[in-house]
Chain A
Amino acid sequence: MIGTIFLAVTLALSLCALLCYATRAERLERWGRLFTLLSLAGAAGASGYLMWLIFGNHFEIAYVASYSSAELPAVYKFSAFWAGQQGSFLLWLLIHAVAGVMLSFRQRLTSVGMAVYMFLQALLAFLVMAKSPFLPQEAAVENGVGLNPLLQDPWMAIHPPVIFIGYALLAVPFACSAAALIENQKAKQWLEQARRWTLVAWAFLGAGIFIGGYWAYKVLGWGGFWGWDPVENSSLVPWLVAGIFIHVLRVARVREAVLSMVHLAAVFAFSLVLYGTFLTRSGILGDFSVHSFSGTSIGMTIAVVNAIVLVSGLLLLTVRANKLPKGEMYPGYNSREFIVLLGALVLVFIAAVIFLGMSMPLLTQLVGRPAAVDTDFYVRTTLPLAIVMMFCIAFACLHRYGDGSKIVAGRMLGIFFAAGAGISWLAGVRQLLPIVLAGAAVLGAAASVLSWRKKALGFGGMAAHFGLGLSLLAIVLAGSGSQSTSRELNVGEPVTLYGHEIVYKGQQFADDMSAKYYIYTVDGREVRALTKLHANGEDAAREPAIDKTLAGDIYIAPTPPKDSGRQELILKHGRMAMDDLYAYRYEGAKMEEQGGGRMLVTAAIAVTDGETIERVEPAIQATLEGGTSKPVDVFGGKKRVRLTGVSADQKQARLEILPSLETETQQAITASISTKPFIWMLWLGSVLVCVGTLAAVKK
């Protein structure tokens, strides 16, 4: 209830601020700023309250029950805040409100700009209210489900906030552009401010995407970092469009006629953020995406919000189109202006094909039978475009703005192209287009450094383009140059693969049985594949083992367990049942109520090897949500027994018989092993792209 009040107050205050700003009266503007500040207080109140609910284990709230649990470590309780869509919307609103206060007090967006910004904030507050994280749980539970073990990773804890900072800040160029159109502002008045905010948004969105890719590589264990999944694409497309915005804006500073493109990019960048949210949150992709959220009624609401933003933005631009400056967009084909615009056009194409691909399930659903595109589609279409893009970067870097004078002789650049292509050939890449891309990537990276040395490109721009070149080269090397094989590995038996000696050393359980490790050595260096375990001992999440070297990674994908030698026995009261070694007799159970719906069920089991009898008492700790039980050793650990159930009349018990820990941990496994040549260059390149983008803010 308190949370909903906070949200309603935020919505109301955002609308109040919107009205005050919209009047454009000096006196009311001050009130507008006050309301803006108070709306932040409202959003912060709602967020603080949700955090309090999570840390206080208030499982009567559905959101808390779904994403947190009593035993979840504090840091992941923190990230449970944004683990689900309701919480991540609230986080988005909070970031939007924080930026709103900065815009109204320090950066001083115009009144009209603030009105547009608060309009977007009201829409967001409305979305959070429509999909509130404060709804009560239908049936009382004692403990929450907990955060998915796959998400219990430091990278995944920061991934959503980083992405949402990017999403939220893309509202700033939208507001700037709309205000400039409404007030007929001169380009000088708003371009610089829009540029700085968009660069920050762009850097964060990029960082979020890269973190997601790194996490997928490090945790998910399918061996890649990018799967062209709609959820990934829906954040990539706004990132590309924000890139278009930044580049056309740069040209607009020297050629005012380009301004209309800047406006167009601003409208599309933010609309595509909303569209991506709609696509991934509406459940439309349910059957097509590995990780879209399950179907909810929020879809239509987001679709309407999205339509409002897109249509109003485009309408405004159309109405004001004749007031925008006209003239020459570029002096000639050899000018930097033309090449940058051409590069932006290539980005438009890249964004468009990805947009088309990810929207396929939606579009086909509208006309009949749903269909999706194969991920090959994205590779086939974006690969040639990426090549053209890198050439554009290289040639743009070679020319100066204005007079189009050349910086370096084009001839010597052929050397860099040959070097890139040669490296990929040596790394084992044999397809034409990837080799050309590797050459173009090195060429672009080298040209950006040369351009920086001649002071034709800022440090940030150099770092970002160099990083992009490095990343694309790494994608070619680690993607097309990767080799992979599946091998059966016996404990202690060395296997030589791709010039590395790999030995599987067996499994090892963590002391608290919360995880187990598959241990390998690669050329003598120990690497471990972590498998997180549920309380009942079953696998919860499997991560790969990665041996990192300068030449690349050896990637050992996690292995689903083979037949573990476990066996289930159903025992009738007083009767015997046998496995390969022992006979087991069920002698009765006792059930102790422990209050609060908790119950301890203990079974008395007699085990005999024919000579001696050993008595053990495996137990199940049962709660309303289910039970957990730990294995108990028999005959010094030669077998282990785990109680998995007792019938209500206590006449039957179900036992799981596990082999000795030794047998289980020393089993042979089938591992899928691959090489990822020079993949560290991708991580380094991604970091450079983000750092460079941020560095470009100050100029």
Chain B
Amino acid sequence: MNRKILLGILILAFLGYAGYSFVDSVTPYVGIAEAQKASGSVQVKGLLAESAEAPHMEGDYFVFTLRDEDTGETMPVRYHGAKPDQFDEAHHIVAVGKYKDGAFQADKLLIKCPSKYEQQGKK
């Protein structure tokens, strides 16, 4: 019986840990205004703002400006890494990270490109 209780406690402990990890790693989808206020990690979807400074490398960082499709707000994004493949053909860009020091510090960029794995027939 003791072992059953032990096993139960271990399972509960794991569930608690999993629940904590889960809540901790949820990254909600937000607009630019909200992203600038958010304290935790968030995902922002937008387009490359063409009116702003052209995307370029600053040391190890790839820097560009993201524009919210609906509101038109813009926000500089700093991504630690090289310019992702197919960045130029991107339909949408999803940046995952935190807003800090006047720019969105992205840990990850998802390049949404309709042609990446399934190409659309050109009309």
Co-assembled chains A and B: yes
Q: A-side interface residues toward B, CB under 8 Å?
A: 62, 65-67, 83-85, 137-139, 141, 144-146, 148, 150-151, 221, 286-288, 290-291, 293-294, 333, 342, 349, 353, 356-357, 360, 364, 369-374, 376-377, 380-381, 384-385, 486, 541-542, 557-560, 625-626, 670, 672
| Complex-state Cα separation, A247 to B90, whole angstroms | 45
Say which size band chain B's interface belongs to.
35 or more
Binding site for A on B (CB under 8 A): 3, 7, 14, 17-18, 21-22, 24-30, 41, 43, 45, 57, 60, 81-85, 87, 92, 94, 96, 110-112, 114-123
A141 surroundings in chain B (CB, below 8 A): 121-122
Residue pair A558, B22 in contact (C-beta under 8 Å):
no
Chain A residue nearest to B62 in the complex (CB): A560
With a cutoff of 8 Å between Cβ atoms, the chain B residues found around residue A342 in the complex are 7
A138:B123 contact, CB within 8 angstroms: yes
Knowing that A221-B85, A373-B26, A374-B96 are A-B contacts, what are 10 other residue pairs whose CB atoms are under 8 Å apart, sorted by A's residue number?
A66-B120, A145-B120, A291-B116, A294-B118, A374-B27, A377-B21, A385-B14, A486-B60, A560-B87, A672-B81
A574 CB to nearest chain B CB (Å)? 32
From A151, A287, A349, residue with most partner B Cβ within 10 Å: A287
Residue of A nearest to B42 (CB): A371
Give, as a whole number of angstroms, the nearest-CB distance from B17 to chain A.
7
Q: How far is the CB of B22 from chain A (nearest CB, A)?
A: 6
Q: Are the C-beta atoms of B28 and A371 separated by less than 8 Å?
A: yes
Contact A384 B14 (CB under 8 A): yes
Distance between Cα atoms of A559 and B82 in the complex (Å)? 8
Contact between chains at B25 and A287 (CB < 8 Å)? no
Cα(A559)–Cα(B41), bound, Å:
28
Interchain CA distance A580-B85 in the complex, whole Å:
30
**B30 neighbours in A (Cβ, 8 Å):** 369
Residues in A whose Cβ lies below 8 Å from that of B81: 672
- Flag if A290 contacts B111 (CB, 8 Å): yes
Q: Given that A148-B116, A290-B111, A381-B17 are known contacts, is A625 also in contact with B122, CB under 8 Å in the complex?
A: yes
Q: Contact: B28 with A369, CB < 8 Å?
A: yes
Taking a contact as CB atoms under 8 Å apart, the answer to whether B45 and A287 are in contact is yes
The chain B residue with its CB closest to the CB of A143 is B122
| Cβ–Cβ contact B123 & A139, under 8 A | yes
Known: A287-B45, A353-B18, A381-B18. A372 touches B123 (CB 8 A): no
Write out the residue numbers on chain B whose beta carbons fall within 8 Å of the beta carbon of A85: 118
- Among A148, A370, A372, max chain B CB count under 10 A is at A372
How many Å lie between the Cα of A150 and that of B118 in the bound state? Answer: 11
| Beta-carbon contact of B60 and A84 below 8 Å | no
Give the residue of B18, B29, B60, B116 whose beta carbon is less than 8 angstroms from that of A372: B29
- Closest beta carbon of chain B to A53's beta carbon, Å: 15
22 contacts across the A-B interface (CB closer than 8 A): A66-B120, A66-B121, A83-B118, A137-B121, A138-B123, A145-B121, A145-B122, A146-B119, A148-B116, A286-B112, A287-B43, A287-B94, A287-B112, A342-B7, A372-B27, A374-B26, A374-B27, A374-B96, A380-B25, A542-B85, A560-B83, A672-B82
Contact B85 A626 (CB under 8 A): no
Does B82 contact A560, Cβ atoms closer than 8 Å?
Answer: yes
Chain A residues, Cβ within 8 Å of B29: 287, 369-372
Given A62-B121, A145-B121, A287-B45, A373 and B22 touching (CB < 8 A)?
yes
Complex Cα distance, B82 from A672, in Å, reads 8
Q: Is the CB of B22 within 8 A of A377?
A: yes
Question: In the complex, which residues of chain B have a beta carbon less than 8 angstroms from the beta carbon of A364?
Answer: 28
Given the interface contacts A374-B25, A380-B21, A558-B85, does A148 sit within 8 Å of B115 by beta carbon? yes
A290 in contact with B118 (CB, 8 Å):
no
How far apart are B12's CB and chain A's nearest CB, in angstroms? 12
Q: Which 6 A-B pairs have the closest CB atoms?
A: A377-B25, A374-B25, A371-B28, A291-B117, A380-B21, A145-B119
Question: Which residue in B3, B21, B84 is a CB contact (below 8 Å) of A333?
Answer: B3
Closest B residue to A360 by beta carbon equals B26
Residues of B within 8 A of A83 (CB): 118
Q: Which residue of A lies closest to B20 (CB)?
A: A380
Contacting residues, chain A, for B3 (C-beta < 8 A): 333
CA distance A364 to B115 in the complex (A): 27
Query: Which chain A residue has the least Cβ–Cβ distance from B92?
Result: A287
A672 contacts across to B, CB distance below 8 A:
81-82
Q: How far is the CB of B64 from chain A (nearest CB, A)?
A: 13
A372 touching B119 in the complex, CB below 8 Å, given contacts A384-B14, A559-B82: no
A288 CA to B24 CA, complexed, in Å: 18
* CA distance in complex: A385, B87 (Å): 37
A407 to B52, CA, bound (A): 70
Q: Note all chain A residues with C-beta closer than 8 A to B92.
A: 287
The interface residues of chain A lying within 8 Å CB-to-CB of B28 are: 364, 369-371
Which residues does chain A contribute within 8 Å of B26, judged by CB atoms? Answer: 360, 371-374
- Chain B residues with Cβ below 8 Å from A67 are 119
- Contacts of A290 on B, CB cut-off 8 Å? 110-111, 116
Name the CB-closest residue of B to A85. Answer: B118
CA distance A357 to B110 in the complex (A): 17
Contacting residues, chain B, for A294 (C-beta < 8 A) = 114, 118, 120
- List B contacts of A369 (CB < 8 A): 28-30
- Within 8 Å CB of A558, what residues of B? 85
Chain A residues within 8 Å of B57, by CB: 670
Q: Cβ of B112: which chain A residues have Cβ within 8 Å of it?
A: 286-287
| A151 to B84 Cα, complex, angstroms | 18
Complex-state Cα separation, A372 to B115, whole angstroms = 23
State whether A349 and B123 are in contact (beta carbons under 8 Å apart), knowing that A291-B116, A372-B29, A486-B60 are contacts in the complex: no
Q: Given that A333-B3, A377-B25, A381-B21 are known contacts, is A84 also in contact with B123, CB under 8 Å in the complex?
A: no
B65 to chain A, nearest CB (A): 18
Chain B minimum-CB-distance residue to A151? B117
Asked whether, in the complex, the Cβ of A66 is within 8 Å of the Cβ of B119, the reply is yes
* Bound form: Cα–Cα A660–B45 in Å: 40
- Could you say which residues of chain B place their CB within 8 Å of the CB of A356? 22
Which residue on chain B has the smallest CB distance to residue A542?
A: B85
Chain A residues closer than 8 Å to B41, beta-carbon distance: 374
How far is it, in angstroms, between the C-alpha of A146 and the C-alpha of B115 when the chains are bound? 11
